[in-house]
Homo-oligomer: A and B are copies of this chain.
Amino acid sequence: MARYREYGAVFSPARSWPRVALWSLLLFVLGIAARIAQADDPLPSWRDGEAKAAIIHFVERVTTPGADYLMPAERVAVFDNDGTLCPEMPVSTQFAFTLDRLRAMAPAHPLWRDTEPFKSALAGDIEAVAAGGDKAILQLMTVTHSGMSTDDFDAMVRDWLTRARHPRFGRPYTRLVYQPMLELLIYLRSNGFSTYIVASGGTDFMRSWVEQAYGIPPEQVIGSSSKLLYEIRNGEPVLMRQRAVDFINDGDSKPIAIHKVIGRRPILAFGNSDRDIAMLEWATMQSRPTLGLLLHHTDAEREYAYDRKAFRGRLEQALATAPARHWVIVDMRRDWAKVFRD
C-alpha cells in the first residue's frame, strides 16, 4: 500500500501531469508483462486451449514432488514421425526418396518398365502403387534400400536430402517440420524426459536426418529395419543391407519395439493414425500418470486436412477410441498458431 501511494503521488494526474503520460507508462508496463509471459511460455506456437493445457498440466504433475512425481528415467515419451513430427502428404519423405532412387536405378532395370509396382511408381502414379497394398510398397522399398553398406546408405540419404524439395512447399524435407512439435520436444527434454521416435519409417533412413531436424540422437530412433549381414570388405568391417525385411514397426508392433529397445513403458505417446493405437494404449493404460495425444490434420490451408479417406493417414478408429481413453486430440487448425519452423 505504501508503495502504491508513493507511485500514486509521483504520477498523480492531480499534479497536472498529462494523462497520456500515465497511459503510456501503463501500456509500457503491460507490454513488458506480455513479453515476460511469452518468454515463460514453453509452447509459444500452441494456442491456448485444452491440448496445450493438458500437456503443461501433465509435465508439471510428473515433475513436481508429490504423489504423481516420476523419476527422470521413467519420463519416456514416444512420437510417431510421418504425420506427427512432419508432413506425410502427398507421400512420406522416405517414399519420395524411394521414388527418386527408383528413377535413378531404372536405366539398369529395363524390365521395370512393364512390371508392377515399378511401372506405376516410375510414372509417379501413387494411387496405382497404393492399390498394390503394403506388399507393393515393401517391394519398392527393399529394392531401393538394399545392396549397400549402412554407411553408404547413410551417405546416399544425406545427399538426397540436400537436393530434394517438397512438391507443394518447395522446401528441403529436413526443414519442413512442425514448429509446435519442436517446442514440445524441447519442453519435454528440459523437464527430464527422453524423447524417442517410434515410427514405421526405416530406422536408418530417419537416423540420417532426425538428429539435425529434431535433436533426437540415433539411439532414440526406433523404426522398421532391413536384414543386415556383417562382413569384412577390403579389410573394413561393414553391415550390408539385405533385400529382406527384418521388422515392420507399425500398429501392434510398436509396443513390441518399444519393449525391445527401451524396456520401459512410456508415459507419453503422440501419434496421428490408427496405426498408433497400440502405442497409445501401451503408454496410457497403466496406473502411473500418462498422456496420450493424437494430431488431427484439419488444416488444408496451411498443411493438409485428412483422416478417413487418405491411404495411410486413417484416424477413424483412434478418434472413436480417444474419449474413453482420455487421449487428447490436437486439432492442427485450432491448436497451432504456427505450423512449420522458419
Contacting residues, chain B, for A281 (C-beta < 8 A)? 232, 237
Question: A209 interface residue, CB < 8 Å from B?
Answer: no
- Identify A237's interface contact among B150, B225, B228, B285, CB under 8 A: B285
Q: A217-B73, A230-B255, A252-B230 are in contact. Are A207 and B263 (CB under 8 A)?
A: yes
Contacting residues, chain B, for A203 (C-beta < 8 A)? 260, 263
A278 x B225 contact (CB < 8 A)? no
Question: A342 interface residue, CB < 8 Å from B?
Answer: no
Question: A322 interface residue, CB < 8 Å from B?
Answer: no
Residue of B nearest to A257 (CB): B228
- Identify A256's interface contact among B239, B252, B264, CB under 8 A: B239
Question: A173 interface residue, CB < 8 Å from B?
Answer: no
Task: Kindly provide the distance from the CB of A72 to the nearest chain B CB, expressed in whole angstroms.
Answer: 11
Question: A259 interface residue, CB < 8 Å from B?
Answer: yes
Contacting residues, chain B, for A285 (C-beta < 8 A)? 235-237
In angstroms, Cα B165 to Cα A223, docked, is 40
A282 x B73 contact (CB < 8 A)? no
Contacting residues, chain B, for A263 (C-beta < 8 A)? 203-204, 207, 218-219, 221
Contacting residues, chain B, for A255 (C-beta < 8 A)? 230, 237, 239
What is the copy number of this chain in the assembly?
Answer: 2
A219 x B262 contact (CB < 8 A)? yes
Residue of B nearest to A227 (CB): B256
- Identify A225's interface contact among B219, B228, B235, B260, CB under 8 A: B260
Question: A261 interface residue, CB < 8 Å from B?
Answer: yes
Contacting residues, chain B, for A221 (C-beta < 8 A)? 263
Q: A230-B278, A237-B285, A285-B236 are in contact. Are A259 and B150 (CB under 8 A)?
A: yes
B256 x A228 contact (CB < 8 A)? yes
In angstroms, Cα B253 to Cα A230, docked, is 7
B218 x A239 contact (CB < 8 A)? no
B264 x A219 contact (CB < 8 A)? yes
In angstroms, Cα B239 to Cα A256, docked, is 7
Known: A230-B255, A237-B281. 6 other contacts (CB 8 A): A203-B263, A219-B219, A219-B261, A219-B262, A235-B285, A237-B255
List 8 A-B residue pairs with CB atoms under 8 Å apart, sorted by A's residue number.
Answer: A73-B217, A218-B262, A219-B263, A219-B264, A229-B252, A230-B255, A236-B285, A237-B285
